[in-house]
Each structure stands twice: as C-alpha cells, then as structure tokens.
Chains A and B, each alone.
Chain A
Amino acid sequence: MKFSNHLIILATIILGFWLDDMLNPITISFLLELNFGFLIFSYWVFAMPEKLQSSAALFYGLVTDLFFSNVIGFNMLFFTATSYIIHLYVFRFRIFSYFQLAVFFSGSSSLFIAFKYLLLSPYNYSYIILIVSFFINAVIWLGVYFTMRAFRRNIFLNS
C-alpha cells in the first residue's frame, strides 16, 4: 500500500480521536465515553486486513499515543492486539451480521475503555460507564462502518 494511503488512514484515526477529545468532556457527565478513534482504526483493519499488518498498527498506535494519550505504548498495545484478533478471525467476520459485528467491535471498544481506566485512572473506573459506552458505541459502530465504507470506496477505489 502507498504511503499516502497510510497517511489518509492515519488522518481518519486522528480525526476520530480528536472527536473523542472534543465530545468526551461533555458526554462523560452522562456516564458515556465515546470511542470513535478506536472504532475507526478497527474498521480499517477489518476492511483491509491484507494491507494493514502489525507494523501499521504499531505505527498508528505510536502516533496516536504521541498526540492523544497520557502514556506511550497504550494505544500501540491495543492497536496491535486488536489487529491480531481481527486478522485471526477476519473471514468469520465476513459472514457476521451487522448486529454481531456491532457487538464484537463495541465489546472491544469497552475493553479498551476498561483497560484505559484500570491502567491510567483506577479511581474513576466505573462499570456503569462501560455498560452505557458498550450500547452507545455499538450504535456508533454502525455509523462508523457505513461512513468509512463509503469513504474507502470513494478514496481507495478511485486512486
């Protein structure tokens, strides 16, 4: 894959994390933590597994850590692990329904949030946040999926 394509993918992931940064201070009062950045990353690996391997996940994670995280390595670790799991089951995912996909990716996103709190902010760990975020991120996944698919078809099929 061309380097410019990597930059486009990275830009969408950064946009997702930026959205999270903008919206989470508002939504956290409703016990909801949005996770656009992670869902967008998951979408790209899910949509183009043969092009996004471990090194890409590591690189995207490092850049995200530098810009958005409080520690280096957190997003790197989760991006790599998620990428591995998606690669492992990528063909099974192909026969999943939208509902099943939403449950899987929203579950991964809740796991991401849970570990973020456990590692970086254990005092604020809350099961209610995880449960609320699970349901809302499942809905968001559908939006991310269709939006990013339209974007990918526009950008990558025309280039």
Chain B
Amino acid sequence: MARSTPTYTPVRNYAIGIFLSAFLLFSDISYGTFSPLRGLMHASSLYAQMISSNIFSNINNTFSSFQKNAYLLEKNKELTEQILKIKTQDFIQRKDNEEKIQISNFQNDLISVLGSKNINLFKIASIDLRNYLCCSQHRVFLQTTNEVQPAANSPVFAGNSYIGQTKNTYMNFIEVILLSDTKHVLPIKSDFFYCDARGKGKPMLISCKLGKNDDFQHKIGDAVFTSGLGGIFLKDIEIGLISAINSVSINEIEIIVTMKTNPLEETFYGILSKVTDEI
C-alpha cells in the first residue's frame, strides 16, 4: 500500500512562480513599479466601455427604428416621425440646458469659494466603487482632452469643497486620489488644533491624531478647514465636520472628520489650472 498519494507536482516551477510573483508584489506595493501599467489598463478598459456602450446604443437605435418604422407605416408615418423628432430635440435640449446650468452653478461656486477664475471643469469617467466601498484605495477617473492636461498633485474640487488631488494622466483620463484614500494626507486646522489628516480608507472619512490637552474644546459637529500648510491646498476651505472623537491612548485622541462632499453624488470636478497667491 502506498504511503502517500502520487502527485504531478514539480516543486521547482512552483517555487520560481511564487518567488517571481512575490517579488513583483513587493516592488509594486513598496515602489508602485507597475502603477503606469495599471493606469494604462484602466484607461483602456474605460475606452472599451465607452466604445462598447456607443456600439450598443447604435444597435439599439437601429432595432428600435426598424420597429418604429413598422409601426409608423400603419399609422401616419410622416406625422409621427415629426412628433418624435420634436420630442427628441426637446428632450436633448432640456438635458443639455440642465447640464449647462449644473456646470455654470458649479463654476460660480468654485469662483466664489476659491476666488480664482483659472478653473478647468471635468466630467467624471468612473469611480473605483469596488475599492471605494471596502478598501484603502479611493480613486476617481475624470475625462479630459488633449488640450487640457492638469499638472500632477493639483487640488481637485467638487460640490463645495476639496475632494482630492490629481495623481496621474493616462490616455485622456485623469486619476484623482480622494482625500479618504489612506495614502493621502491633508493638512487641516480648526480653532484649537493643526494636524495632518490621513484618509481612513472608508467613504468620506479622514482622521488625525492629537495629543490630549486642556485647550482642546471641540465637540462633534464642529467644522474643520484646510490649513494651507502643505502648499497645495488653499487655506480656510471647509473640508467637513468632526463626526467622532476617539480616545486612542491615555494622552492621545483621534479626530474623525466626515467630508462635506460625497464623490458618489458629484458629476463635475474642478481643478485649478494655476496655483494662486492665497496659499
């Protein structure tokens, strides 16, 4: 009777495979060696999605026009077509106007809050929802054109507050690292403290640790602002509200800040094209 089961396993090949993949994993986690490659893959898949959705909508249009033609022949073809055209034009015009109003409102908000007119607006292409809801990496991709290529690390604005920073540009898509990403650090302040808030890896949450002292008189619901100390973000922009104050140790507390802007609800994002003197 055999003592052990026969196997097909050549250990050497597996050991090589494991060492190779461990090496790649280590170099990517530690140094981000393959981040341009991943960015390119992401941008390509976004293009593929956009192209395939265009193709599907064209096919749908073709099919529906066939069906409509049959229907229209029964009724009054000319008249119904006219009505449809008017309806469609009206719908498109309304949608277009809504979007224009949305853009202009957002632009006015940006100008009033940031006091700068050098703002480029971008529409969202995708949000990495899988990671945003569960994990540390919180990224958004914005659509851009060849003419407008914002610099890396520019602050990104959405709704009525900052939301993140540009990271890279891949094939007309701007990768934005959100404030809630654990790799992002934002200098913030309030009446009683200055600190560097790090993303919590949870939607809309950032946090910072402070030493306990008697001057600290904050309570939940107090507003927190950018301090401008990092030299990237303008100062005195409201970022969010204190949503929890946790005791970490005997002489240390953690302040959790819930951001004002929810990236899942935003369509347009603004990026300052030039750094202003207010920093």
Contacts and interface: CB of A to CB of B under 8 A. Distances in A.
Interface of A: 20-21, 24-25, 28-29, 33, 49-50, 53-55, 57-58, 61, 66-67, 70-74, 76-77, 80-81, 83-84, 87-92, 117, 119-124
Contacts of A53: 8, 10, 13
A67 B21 contact: no
B134 A124 contact: yes
B136 A122 contact: yes
Interface of A is mostly: helix
B28 A72 contact: yes
Given A66-B37, A73-B22, A123-B200, 18 more contacts: A53-B13, A54-B10, A54-B13, A66-B38, A70-B135, A71-B28, A73-B21, A73-B27, A74-B25, A76-B17, A80-B14, A81-B14, A84-B14, A84-B18, A91-B6, A121-B136, A123-B136, A124-B202
B137 A90 contact: no
Interface of B is mostly: helix
Contact of B13 (A55, A61, A72): A55
A89 B6 CA distance: 9
B8 A50 contact: yes
Nearest to B17: A80
A83 B201 contact: no
Contacts of B201: 121, 123-124
18 contacts: A53-B13, A54-B16, A58-B20, A70-B131, A71-B29, A71-B34, A73-B27, A76-B20, A76-B21, A76-B25, A87-B14, A90-B5, A121-B131, A121-B182, A121-B201, A123-B201, A124-B201, A124-B202
B134 A28 contact: yes
A62 to B, nearest CB: 8
Contacts of A71: 25, 28-29, 34
A117 B37 contact: no
A113 to B, nearest CB: 10
Most buried by B among A20, A74, A80, A119: A80
Interface residues of B, number: 41
B102 interface: no
A33 B135 CA distance: 12
B200 A80 contact: no
Contacts of A119: 25, 29
A24 B73 CA distance: 48
A149 B24 CA distance: 33
B125 to A, nearest CB: 16
Contacts of B28: 71-73
A124 B135 contact: yes
Contact of B18 (A72, A77, A117, A122): A77
Contacts of B51: none
B25 A87 contact: no
Given A54-B14, A80-B18, A81-B18, A73 B135 contact: no
Nearest to B182: A123
A91 B24 CA distance: 32
Most buried by B among A72, A76, A87, A117: A72
A80 B135 CA distance: 24
B23 interface: yes
B200 A84 contact: no
A105 B37 CA distance: 32
A80 B24 CA distance: 13
Contacts of A29: 133
A129 B179 CA distance: 25
A93 to B, nearest CB: 10
Contacts of A90: 5, 7-8
B135 A25 contact: no
Given A58-B20, A76-B24, A88 B9 contact: yes
A71 B28 CA distance: 6
A115 B34 CA distance: 20
A50 B27 CA distance: 32
A24 B14 CA distance: 31
